Each structure stands twice: as C-alpha cells, then as structure tokens.
C-alpha cells in the first residue's frame, strides 16, 4: 500500500477542503487529478505532513498519520522554491545531506542525479539565472537525490517547453520503472496518462474515482451519427440498457453488445444510422465526464 | 540540454543521524552568513572595541580581578550584539518563507530539527561576539595579571559569570530574533523589528522612568533587565531599585513568548505550498 486515507477531512472555517476522503492507493505511479479547489493540494500537504487533518486518519508506506520517516519521501513542489544565492550543486547536495546522505555520498549522488536529469555545466551556476526548465530539473534532482521510495510531484512540467516536457515525462516514466512510487499531481491530463498506471480523481474534497487508467479508459464507447427522430432513438437505446450521451444527431453509446442494440433501436424507431464507430476516451474526456457527473457517477 | 541517459542508481547506505543533519544545516547557514561583509564587520568591531581596547588598557595598567571590568564588556557592547542579532537572525526563517524553500526543509527534516538548526545558527554566530570575547578577555587578563594565583583562584567564579551571562544573552537574543524572522517574509522588516524591540524598549523605559520617576519602569527595557541579571551574576550593585529576579522573570517571559511565536508559526500554522 502506498497510502491510504480514512474519512480524512480538512476544514478552513466553514469551507471543507477535504470531506471524509477515503481511499486506498497501491504502490506504483498514481496521478492525482481534480479541478482547481478540488482538494488535491490539501491532500498532498497532509500526506507530506505539512498540515494536520481536521479529522480522520491516513497512512503512508504503512506508517500512520505522518510518522513515515522523511528519508523515504521526495517532494518536488510546483512553485519556485530555489534559494537564489546557491549553485545547483550546493543546493542539491545540501538537501541530500539534510535527507540523511553523508557528505561524500551526497556530492557523488548530486552529480549522478544531475547527469540523470540532464543538467550539464549549468549546475555550477547560481540558480537565480536559471530558465524554468532548468529549475524544474533541479527540483526533480533535489526530490530524488536521496533515493526515496516515493516521490511526490506537483505539476512537474509546469512552464516547460514541449521538448523539455517530453524529457521530464520520460524521466518520470524511467523512475517509475525502478521500483519507485510516484504521486503526480497535475492539471495536464496527458502527462498523467503518459506516466501513471493508477489515477485518483478528486472533486469537492471527495474521491470521485480511483482505479487503473487502463481500466478506466478501457470501456470503449460507440460513436453514432443518425438521421430521424432522435428522441425515440435515444429512448429505445436506454430501454435496451445502454448509456447514451450527446445531443442532436450525434451520440456516444455505452453498454454490452452496443452495436446490435443500436441496429435494433434504429430498426424499431425507423431512423437511419449514418455513421457508427468505436471511440476510445482520453483521460481528459473521462475526467470531464466524471467531474461534470455525465457518466452516471 | 538533452538527457544524458545515465541510469538512476539506488543507495542502500545508512542515513545520518538527526543531530548530524541539524549540524549540516547550522554549518551551511552559518557559512552563508559569514560571507556577509556586515557580519564580518560586526565581529571585527566587537573584538576591537570590546577586547582589543580593554587589552591595551591592561598592558598599560594591569587590572585587578574585578567583576566590573568583565561585566563592562557586555554593557558596552550591547549595540553590536543587537546589530549582530538583526543582521544574522532577520533572514533565517524570513528568507525561507520568501523563497518558499521552507516546504523543502519540512519535506526532509522534522519541524523541530528545522527550528533547532535555525536557532543553532543564530546562537552560534551570536556567541562569537557575546560569549567568546568575554571568555577571551578573562584569559588575557589572567595572563597579564600581576596578582597571586590564590587571588585569581578566588575570583574564578567570574569566568562562570561571564559564561552564564554570555549564554543568557545569546539564548535571549537568538529566540527573539528567530521569532521576529518567522513573522515576516521580508528580512528587512525582520531586521528592523529586532533592532527596534531592543532599542525602542530601552528608549521608552528611559523616557518613562525619567518622567514618572519610577525605577520599576526600567523593566520595560529588555537590556535593563539583562543588566539587572548580569549585575547579580557578577555580584555587583543592582542598577535599579527592584529585585533582580523580577527582571529574570521578565526575560523568561520574553523567551517563552518568542518560543510561542516560533511554535505557532512553524509548527501550528499551515505551510503554504
């Protein structure tokens, strides 16, 4: 188990940032998704031990309520947090030592980690002059230099150019292949889809859905364009147990044996089917459906 | 700037103890502070005015082992102590709040270790100008003294008074400056705040005492209270007409309030990420 929460709540006055959030997340790569104000950052802050929950309990790597040894955790914040007067080497080796690495090991691992994240000679320069992409690489190096078991990443590709973003995502995927658990909080759904095997979707302080990305996206939908009386057609499909969304002459149809049900409904309601094809949802579409409650959740 | 496909390597060594990590924090921050020309200037100034000038007087006129000679160092150097606390202490937490690097510290250190480390930095640097010159002065006076060994041994308690006063001033000023540094994310405000708390309280106490002709109003000044406790430790006549332990209580309250502010700002208040 990577982390679990049980009826975890956090109140700010009358505002409920987390509302009895309960979830059990397996080790591996997990994407934390949700619209702004959904409670992602609050959940992340509680898991990192930066704030106390108002109610409920949580566990990380089997340790209750933040008693996890901090050496096991790496954290890459979203915002700029690099002290301007330090070089990248000085900064990462310093935080490596604070995380428990002896001096010589910290120095060696700092250079290895910079090689790994792709920061060259710039590592000897003061960080005040770094580009956003370089800062993101330094922050990632800081988060992984001490070889943590789980890495929390908050919007790791924020402000990066397309090439840098691709490199960052490849690094994260590579890290995940080395038995590291990754908790990735991002509003860029393709990033989560690329890196994560599991996803937790949070909305209004509650877990809306949790599961494997593959399974959540696995249910293929049928895209149908028709001509005729759409009201009768939709009614007929629903009577046959299909889930139908969309308006006008174009519908998305979900359900067992959807193809034959569409043909039967078309025959029964005397409409023409002008297009029918399978359509795989992207995480983005699934997210929008779930958050807007369109999938029946 | 492409990725150099070096493989990431695991590390299965033994992690350092928490004390060692706090020591790393203290060393790094102290080293950074010592790169400031202001800190170096204050150290030089304190040693020159507090130690060198006193030593020159010893050369021309060997001193008697009197406590007032050593207590005078603390009294005369208060401005340098306050400036040192303001310069060193102001940015310790304020800079981390401004850079938002405080969350990085909290993701790898317990909050108590962070607070202890920051306290260690300001206390360590303050002791360079508060405690060490006093002890140095004692041994220099000892070496140049013409008094008999028996007489000097009779006054060995003065060394204890120097150490106790030095430690007390260091602890007090460290906790006050750290508390003020945790209130704001601007080190200039924190520095001004530290300076004002010591100097303004002294001015207000002086004015009010003169107007109302009440010795107890001297208690408003932090430094007057330090002077009262210091004089008691050095077995000298108390400068004001109230018991020394009342001053000790005031100073203890200042330390407790400072610790309370640090606890509230670091441990209880939410850290924004």
Beta-strand pair A181-185/A150-154: parallel
Are the beta carbons of A142 and B104 separated by less than 8 Å? yes
What integer pLDDT is reported at residue A208 of this predicted model? 84
Nearest to B17 by CA among A89, A69, A160: A69
Q: Is residue A273 classed as helix, strand or coil in its secondary structure? A: strand
pLDDT category at A294 given cuts 50, 70, 90 is very low
Q: CA triplet B257, B262, B264: central angle to 5 degrees?
A: 90
Q: How many residues are there in chain B?
A: 273
Are the beta carbons of A98 and B10 separated by less than 8 Å? no
Q: Smallest CA–CA separation between B21 and chain A, in Å?
A: 5
CATH of A219-280, one of 3.30.70.1140, 3.40.50.1000, 3.40.710.10, 3.30.70.980: 3.30.70.980
> Cα(B69)–Cα(B47) distance, rounded to whole angstroms?
15
Beta carbons within 10 angstroms of residue A272's beta carbon = 10
Range name among A62-76, A165-179, B78-92 with the lowest pLDDT average:
A62-76
Using an 8 Å CB-CB cutoff, list chain B residues near A101.
Answer: 11, 13, 15-16
Chain A interface mutation, best of B34, B107, B121, B266, highest count of A Cβ atoms under 10 Å: B107
β strands within chain A, DSSP E: 3-12, 15-25, 29-33, 55-60, 63-64, 73-76, 150-154, 181-185, 198-203, 206-212, 221-227, 243-245, 250-254, 272-279
Query: Is 50 exceeded by the pLDDT of residue B148?
Result: yes
Query: Is 80 exceeded by the pLDDT of residue A289?
Result: no
Block residue for tokens 């949790």: A210
A79 near B CB under 8 A: yes
pLDDT one-digit tens code per residue, B34-83:
999 999 999 999 999 888 888 887 777 666 667 888 888 898 898 999 99
Q: Smallest CA–CA separation between A292 and chain B, in Å?
A: 27
Two domains, one topology: A3-213 and A219-280? no
Cα dihedral sign for A196, A199, A201, A205? Answer: negative
What integer pLDDT is reported at residue B252 of this predicted model? 95
Least CB–CB distance from B108: residue in A99, A109, A175: A99
> Cα(A282)–Cα(A216) distance, rounded to whole angstroms?
10
Query: Is 60 exceeded by the pLDDT of residue B272?
Result: no
CATH of A3-213, one of 3.40.50.300, 3.40.50.10490, 3.30.465.10, 3.30.70.260: 3.40.50.300
Are the beta carbons of B8 and A98 separated by less than 8 Å? no
Query: Is 50 exceeded by the pLDDT of residue A144?
Result: yes
**pTM for the complete prediction?**
0.83
- Farthest-apart Cα atoms in chain B, separation: 78
Q: How many residues are there in chain A?
A: 297
Are the beta carbons of A146 and B108 separated by less than 8 Å? yes
A39 near B CB under 8 A: no
Could you tell me how many helices (H) and strands (E) chain B has, helices first?
13, 0
CB of A252 closer than 8 Å to CB of A222: yes
Are the beta carbons of B3 and A167 separated by less than 8 Å? yes
How many cross-chain Cβ pairs, A to B, lie less than 8 Å apart?
120
What integer pLDDT is reported at residue A213 of this predicted model? 79
Query: Is 70 exceeded by the pLDDT of residue B190?
Result: yes
The A residues from 82 to 101 touching B (CB cutoff 8 Å) are 82-85, 94-95, 97-101
Nearest to B63 by CA among B161, B130, B144, B125: B144
pLDDT one-digit tens code per residue, B192-216:
999 999 988 989 988 988 888 888 8
pLDDT category at B183 given cuts 50, 70, 90 is very high
Are the beta carbons of B4 and A115 separated by less than 8 Å? yes
Q: What is the mean pLDDT of residues B87-108?
A: 91
Query: Is 90 exceeded by the pLDDT of residue A109?
Result: yes
Beta-strand pair A181-185/A29-33: parallel
Query: Is 50 exceeded by the pLDDT of residue A295?
Result: no
Which residues have CB under 8 Å from B20's CB, separation 6+? none
The DSSP string of A218-263 is HS-EEEEEEES-HHHHHHHHHHTT-EEE--TTEEEEESTTHHHHHH
What integer pLDDT is reported at residue B19 of this predicted model? 94
CA dihedral B264, B268, B272, B273 (to 10 degrees): 130
Block residue for tokens 């202001």: B38
pLDDT one-digit tens code per residue, A62-88:
888 765 667 888 999 888 889 888 899
Mean of pLDDT over chain A: 86
Least CB–CB distance from B9: residue in A49, A112, A142: A112
pLDDT category at A296 given cuts 50, 70, 90 is very low
User: Residue ranges of the domains in chain A?
Assistant: 3-213, 219-280
Q: What is the mean pLDDT of residues A90-94?
A: 95
Q: CA triplet A32, A38, A44: central angle to 5 degrees?
A: 45
What integer pLDDT is reported at residue B263 of this predicted model? 92
Which residues have CB under 8 Å from A257's CB, separation 6+? none
pLDDT category at B124 given cuts 50, 70, 90 is very high
Using an 8 Å CB-CB cutoff, list chain A residues near B11.
Answer: 101, 105, 109, 146-147
Starting at the edge strand that comes first in sequence, how are the strands of the sheet with A55-60 ordered?
A15-25, A3-12, A55-60, A63-64
User: Residue ranges of the domains in chain B?
Assistant: 18-268
Residue of B nearest to A113 (CA): B8
Using an 8 Å CB-CB cutoff, list chain A residues near B108.
Answer: 70-71, 73, 95, 98-99, 146
What integer pLDDT is reported at residue A189 of this predicted model? 81
Least CB–CB distance from A116: residue in B8, B28, B95: B8
> Cα(B158)–Cα(B30) distance, rounded to whole angstroms?
30
């Amino acid at each position: 188990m990577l982390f679990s929460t049980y009826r975890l709540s956090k109140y700010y006055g009358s505002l409920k940032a987390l509302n009895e959030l309960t979830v059990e997340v397996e080790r591996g790569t997990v994407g934390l998704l949700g619209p702004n104000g959904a409670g992602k950052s609050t959940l992340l802050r509680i898991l990192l031990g930066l704030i106390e929950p108002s109610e409920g309990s949580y566990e990380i790597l089997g340790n209750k309520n933040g008693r996890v040894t901090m050496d096991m955790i790496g954290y890459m914040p979203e915002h700029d947090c690099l002290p301007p007067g330090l070089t990248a080497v000085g900064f990462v080796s310093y935080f490596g030592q604070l995380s428990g690495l002896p001096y010589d090991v910290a120095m060696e691992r700092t250079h290895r980690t910079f090689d790994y994240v792709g920061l060259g000679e710039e590592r000897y320069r003061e960080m005040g002059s770094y580009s956003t992409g370089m800062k993101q690489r330094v922050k990632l190096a800081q988060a992984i230099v001490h070889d943590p078991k789980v890495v929390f990443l908050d919007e790791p590709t924020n402000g990066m150019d397309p090439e840098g973003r691709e490199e960052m995502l490849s690094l994260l995927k590579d890290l995940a292949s080395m038995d590291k658990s990754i908790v990735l909080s991002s509003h860029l759904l393709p990033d989560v889809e690329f890196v994560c095997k599991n996803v937790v979707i949070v909305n209004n302080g509650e877990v809306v859905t949790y599961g494997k990305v593959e399974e959540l996206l696995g249910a293929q939908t049928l895209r149908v364009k028709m001509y005729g009386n759409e009201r009768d057609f939709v009614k007929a499909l629903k009577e046959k147990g299909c889930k139908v969304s969309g308006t006008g002459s174009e519908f998305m149809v979900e359900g067992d044996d959807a193809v034959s049900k569409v043909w039967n409904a078309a025959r029964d309601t005397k409409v023409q089917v002008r297009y029918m094809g399978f359509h795989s949802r992207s995480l983005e579409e699934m997210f929008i459906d779930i958050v807007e409650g369109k999938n029946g959740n | 700037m492409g990725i150099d496909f070096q493989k990431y390597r695991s590390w299965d060594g033994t992690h350092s103890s928490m004390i060692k990590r706090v020591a790393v924090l203290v060393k790094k921050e102290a080293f950074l502070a010592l790169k400031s020309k202001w800190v170096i200037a204050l150290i030089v100034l304190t040693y020159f005015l507090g130690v060198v000038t006193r030593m020159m007087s010893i050369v021309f006129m060997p001193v008697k082992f009197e406590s007032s000679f050593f207590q005078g160092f603390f009294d005369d150097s208060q401005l340098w102590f306050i400036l040192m606390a303001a310069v060193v202490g102001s940015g310790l937490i304020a800079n981390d709040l401004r850079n938002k690097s405080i969350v990085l510290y909290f993701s790898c250190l317990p909050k108590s270790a962070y607070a202890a480390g920051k306290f260690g930095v300001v206390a360590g640097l303050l002791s360079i100008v508060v405690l060490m010159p006093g002890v140095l002065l004692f041994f220099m006076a000892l070496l140049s003294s013409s008094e008999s060994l028996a007489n000097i041994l009779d006054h060995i308690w003065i060394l204890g008074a120097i150490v106790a006063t030095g430690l007390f001033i260091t602890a007090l000023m460290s906790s006050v400056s750290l508390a003020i540094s945790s209130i704001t994310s601007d080190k200039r405000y924190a520095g001004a705040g530290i300076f004002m708390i010591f100097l303004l309280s002294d001015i207000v106490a002086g004015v009010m005492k003169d107007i109302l002709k009440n010795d107890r109003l001297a208690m408003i000044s932090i430094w007057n209270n330090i002077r009262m406790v210091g004089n008691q430790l050095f077995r000298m006549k108390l400068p004001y007409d109230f018991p020394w332990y009342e001053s000790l209580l005031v100073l203890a309250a200042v330390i407790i309030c400072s610790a309370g502010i640090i606890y509230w700002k670091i441990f209880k208040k939410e850290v924004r990420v």
